[in-house]
Chains A and B, each alone.
Chain A
Amino acid sequence: MIVSRTLLLSGALALILAGWTSAASAQDAVEQRGKEVFDYWCDACHGDGPGRPGTAALEALYNGEKPALIEDRDDLLPELTRAFVRDGISVMPFFRKTEISDADLDALAAYLAP
C-alpha cells in the first residue's frame, strides 16, 4: 500500500510538473513567436547597430536614462507595446492587423515585457 501510495504521489507530482513544464513551454513558444515578430517587424528600426532610426530616436529621447534598445528595457508593459504598435508615434506609423495580428502583438508584448 505504501508503495502504491508513493507511486500515486509520484504520479501526482509528475502530472503537476508536466503541467508546469507545458505552461512554461507554452510561454516559451509565445516569447519565441514574439522574438520572430520583433525580428520581422521591429528590428529594422529598433534593432542594434547603425541606421536604426527607432533606436537613435530613443537614445535622443532618454539620453542614457533608459536603454535605447527596446529589447533591453525592463519596463515595457504589454499595454505600452500594444499602444505604440496600434497608435504609432512621431514618424512610426501604426500597424494593421493584417501586418501584426492581435495574437502576434500579444506575443511581441510578452517578449518585450519585463
Chain B
Amino acid sequence: MAVPPGVSERDFDRALREFENAVGEQWVFASDEDVDLYRDAYSIYKGDPEDRTAAAAVAPYTVEEVQAVVRTANRYRIPIYPISTGKNLGYGGSAPNLSGSVVLDLKRMNRILEISERNASVLVEPGVSYFDLYRYIQERGLKLWVDVPDPGWGSLIGNAVDHGGGYTQPQFRNHFDAHCGMEIVLPDGDLLRTGMGALPGSESWQQYKFGAGPWIDGLFSQSNYGVVTKMGFWLMPEPDAYLTGTVHVPKHDDLIPLVDILNFLENTGVVNGMPRLGSMVGGGRLQSEPELQALLARGASTAELEEYAAVAGRGYWSCTVKFYGPEKAIAANWEYAREKFSAIPGATFVDGESYRFPLTAEQIEDITRGQADGTGDSALPDFGVPSLVTFSAGARSETNPNPSSGHVWFSPIIPRSGEAIIEANRVFAEAAGELGLPVAAAGFSLPATYWNRSFMYLYGFPISEDPEANRRTREVFERLVRIAAEHGWGEYRTAPAFQDTVADTYSFNDHALRRFNERLKDAIDPNGIVAAGRYGIWPRHMRGA
C-alpha cells in the first residue's frame, strides 16, 4: 500500500481508521485493486512510472462526512484530492496532481436538492451528472433544459469548477458563469456558503449571485482552496422553437468581416445559439475530393483556392448560426442576420433546420444520427440532451480502425477575430512543421465558439499504450503551450500533467497571479492538504520541489 508523501505509515493507518469511522468501512478504498481505479483513464503518463496515482480513496455521502474527512486529513497532514464524478477525461480524469494523495470521491453525493421551474434553477451536489439531472427533469415533465457538455456523464459541479462549457444560449454555455451560489467545505473543515447563501433564511440563493462584499466564487474554480459540496445553476426554460441558417462567403479575407458581423449579432442577442464556423475543406470534402487534396498538398495560392471554391459552388468560409425563441421572432432574427451578412459581397445563404419543442423521440434519433455522422447542423447538446455521441470521434470505426487509448486536449484561447484565426493557422502550421505533427489542411483550422467573447482552439492529442510515444506527446504539448503563450494565447483548462507549465505562462509582473494564489493558499490551507499542485498552486512546503 502506498503512503502519502511526508506521512508515516502509522499516521496514515490511523487516518484511514478515522476515515472509516466517518464514512463507513466500505467507502474507504485502500487496496491496490481499488486504488488503481483512481488513475486517469486518459493519462498522458500512461505506462510511465511517473503516472499519477492515489494512496487511497474516501467516498463520503454527506457534507458532515466531508467535514470529518477534511479535519482528519488536516490532523495527519494527508493530501486529499476532491473529484466529483471523476469523468474529466482529456483534462485529467480522477487522478490527483500529487501522487500519494487520498482521492475524496464525491460521486455518492448525488442529490438534486432543489429544482424550480418558476425560477429555472437547480441546486445540486457534486455527484449529480448531466444524465442524472436530464432524467430527473424528463421524469417530472419540467419545461427546463440543462446546458450540457459533450459527454453527459460529467458532473455539473466538476465541469463548472473546471471551466467547462456547453452549446445552448451564451448565458448558459459557460457553466461557471451559469452558476448561482456555492457551498464549500474549507480545508479546516469549516462550512462556507457564498452569495445569498451567506444570509440565513434567504430564499434567493439561486437568484442573486453576489450577496454583499467580495464575490469569492471564482476562487473555488480551477483551484485548491476547498471542497465544493453544493452549487446552484441557472437552467434554460424550454423555448418554443429553434432555427439554423448558414452564410457562405467567397473570399479568404471575408473571414474578417464574417467574424465581426457574427460578433455583432451575438453581442446584440440576435444570434443566441452557438455558431459554427466552417470552410471549403470541411464536411468531409477533403477526403472525398482528390483535386482539392492535391491543391492543398502542393500549397496552392489563396487565389487558386478561391477559384476552386467558386467553381465548386461553395463559399471559402461558412458560418452556421442558430436561434432559440418564438417561431416568428427567430425567423425575423435570421432575416436580420442575412441582411447584416449581406454586407460581404457575394455572400449566399442556406436555410437550415427548424424544430418546435418538445422534440419527439424520432427527431432526437435523427439529430443523434446527424451528429454521429457529421451531416447535421445540430447536435444533441444544442437541445440540452446529454449523450456520449462525442466518443464516436475517437472510438473504433470503419474510418478509425486503430483507436487511441484516449486523448488530452490542447485548448488555447485566441481573440474573437478573423485576423486571429488567420494568425493562429499560420503559427500552428509552422509549429506543426517544426514539431513533426500532421497537418490535414493548412490554413483551414477553425476554432470553437463556446465563449461568445473569445475563440478557442481544440486539438486532441492521442494517448498511446507506448510510454515513449506519450513522452514525445508531452514534449510537443508543452512546446505548443509555450508557442501559444509567446503569441498571447493561453490555455483555458489543462490536465494536471501540464498545469505547472500552463500556470507558468500566466506570468505578468513576475508571476504576480501565482504569488497571489500562493498567498491565498497559505492563508486558507496552511497545511496544504487540498489538491496540492492544482493549476500550479502548491503548498508552501512543496514549492520548487
Contact = CB atoms under 8 A, between A and B. Distances in A.
B41 interface: yes
B394 A91 contact: yes
A56 B397 contact: yes
A44 interface: yes
A34 interface: no
A60 B397 contact: yes
Given A45-B391, A51-B371, A51-B392, A93 B365 contact: no
Contacts of A58: 396
A49 interface: yes
B474 to A, nearest CB: 19
Interface in B343-395: 365, 368-369, 371-372, 380, 387-389, 391-392, 394-395
A97 B37 contact: yes
Contacts, number: 90
A52 B391 CA distance: 8
Contacts of A61: 396
Given A56-B397, A88-B41, A97-B34, A50 B391 contact: no
Interface string B80-96: 00000111010001100
A114 B486 CA distance: 59
A51 B37 contact: no
A51 B27 CA distance: 35
B108 interface: yes
Interface residues of A, number: 25
A56 B387 CA distance: 15
Contact of B107 (A56, A92, A96): A96
A50 B87 CA distance: 23
Contacts of A97: 29, 34, 37
Nearest to B400: A60
Task: Name which of B29, B388, B394 has the most chain A CB atoms within 10 A of its CB.
Answer: B388
Nearest to B106: A98
A95 B94 CA distance: 11
B497 to A, nearest CB: 17
A50 B394 CA distance: 16
Interface string A84-111: 0010101111111111000000000000
B152 interface: yes
A53 B89 contact: no
Given A44-B387, A53-B395, A94 B41 contact: yes
B111 to A, nearest CB: 15
A57 interface: yes
Contacts of B372: 50-51, 56
A2 to B, nearest CB: 55
Contacts of A53: 388-389, 391-392, 394-395
Interface in A21-63: 44-45, 49-54, 56-58, 60-61
A54 B396 CA distance: 8
Nearest to A45: B388
B404 A91 contact: yes
The CB with the most chain B CB atoms within 10 A, among A52, A60, A96, A98, is that of: A98
A9 B94 CA distance: 60
A49 B389 CA distance: 11
A77 B372 CA distance: 30
A5 B299 CA distance: 98
B131 interface: yes
A50 B397 CA distance: 13
B291 interface: no
A21 to B, nearest CB: 31
Given A44-B388, A91-B395, A93-B89, A51 B108 contact: no
Contacts of B37: 86, 94-97
A90 B396 contact: yes
Contact of A56 (B105, B371, B395): B395
B38 interface: yes
Interface string B396-413: 111011011111000000
B387 to A, nearest CB: 6
Top 9 closest pairs, chain A to chain B, by CB = A93-B41, A57-B396, A51-B389, A51-B368, A50-B369, A53-B395, A51-B372, A98-B107, A53-B391
Interface of B: 27, 29, 34, 37-38, 41-42, 57, 59, 85-87, 89, 93-94, 105, 107-108, 131, 152-153, 365, 368-369, 371-372, 380, 387-389, 391-392, 394-398, 400-401, 403-407
11 contacts: A45-B391, A50-B369, A51-B368, A53-B388, A53-B391, A56-B396, A60-B400, A90-B403, A93-B42, A96-B94, A99-B107
